[in-house]
């Protein structure tokens, strides 16, 4: 909820952004979302879309890596309904974990030959950081 409010507050006109929480996404009954659902789905009136997954530091790093693999598999399987796959942001507060996850993403993207211009997955410290 904190991430939702902070992101919504970053926009001058809150009506220009739609932020869906995981519980709201579940009500939409769409199969295009990765399961388990992302923490937030953000869409702006300019057409920008992104998914945010908040993975607390008290959860093992293995879970974050597994989530990254799932996003890559989901992208490769073309199981989404969007014109292009939204940017994905993994939120992890630990600087050491963020470094490890960034290296892991680079390795996995390189292994799969995914074009980084078509699919972006990023690791950030806080949910509102994706606006920077």
**What are the residue ranges spanned by the domains of the chain?**
2-131
Rounded-to-integer distance, Cα 23 and Cα 46, Å: 24
Mean local confidence (pLDDT), 7-23 = 77
Instruction: Give the pLDDT band of residue 35 (cuts 50, 70, 90).
Output: confident
Residue 113 has pLDDT above 90, yes or no: no
Looking at residue 32, its pLDDT comes to 79
The mean-pLDDT minimum among 19-28, 57-66, 91-100 falls in: 19-28
Rounded-to-integer distance, Cα 99 and Cα 79, Å: 29
From 48, 42, 34, 45, select the one nearest 6 (Cα to Cα): 42
Looking at residue 110, its pLDDT comes to 87
Residue 97 has pLDDT above 80, yes or no: yes
Whose tokens are 């199981």? That residue is 79
Looking at residue 130, its pLDDT comes to 66
Mean local confidence (pLDDT), 112-124 = 86
**Given CA atoms 32, 45, 2, 28 in this order, what sign does their dihedral have?**
negative
Looking at residue 26, its pLDDT comes to 87
Contact 17, 8 (CB under 8 A): yes
Options 3.30.420, 2.30.30, 3.40.1560, 3.40.50; which CATH number does 2-131 get? Answer: 3.40.1560
- Give 18 or 15, the one with higher predicted confidence: 18
Instruction: Give the pLDDT band of residue 99 (cuts 50, 70, 90).
Output: very high
In terms of pTM, does the model score above 0.85? yes
């Amino acid at each position: 909820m904190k991430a939702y409010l902070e992101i919504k507050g970053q926009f001058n006109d809150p009506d220009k952004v739609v932020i869906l929480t995981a519980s709201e996404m579940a009500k939409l009954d769409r199969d295009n979302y990765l399961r388990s659902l992302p923490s937030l789905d953000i869409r702006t009136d300019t057409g920008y879309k992104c998914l945010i997954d908040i993975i607390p530091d008290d959860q093992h790093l293995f879970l974050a890596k597994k989530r990254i693999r799932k996003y890559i598999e989901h992208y490769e399987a073309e199981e989404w309904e969007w014109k292009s796959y939204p940017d994905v942001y993994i939120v992890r507060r630990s600087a050491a974990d963020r470094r490890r996850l960034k290296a892991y993403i680079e390795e996995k993207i390189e292994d799969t030959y995914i074009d980084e211009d078509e699919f972006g997955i990023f690791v950030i410290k806080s949910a509102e950081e994706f606006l920077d």
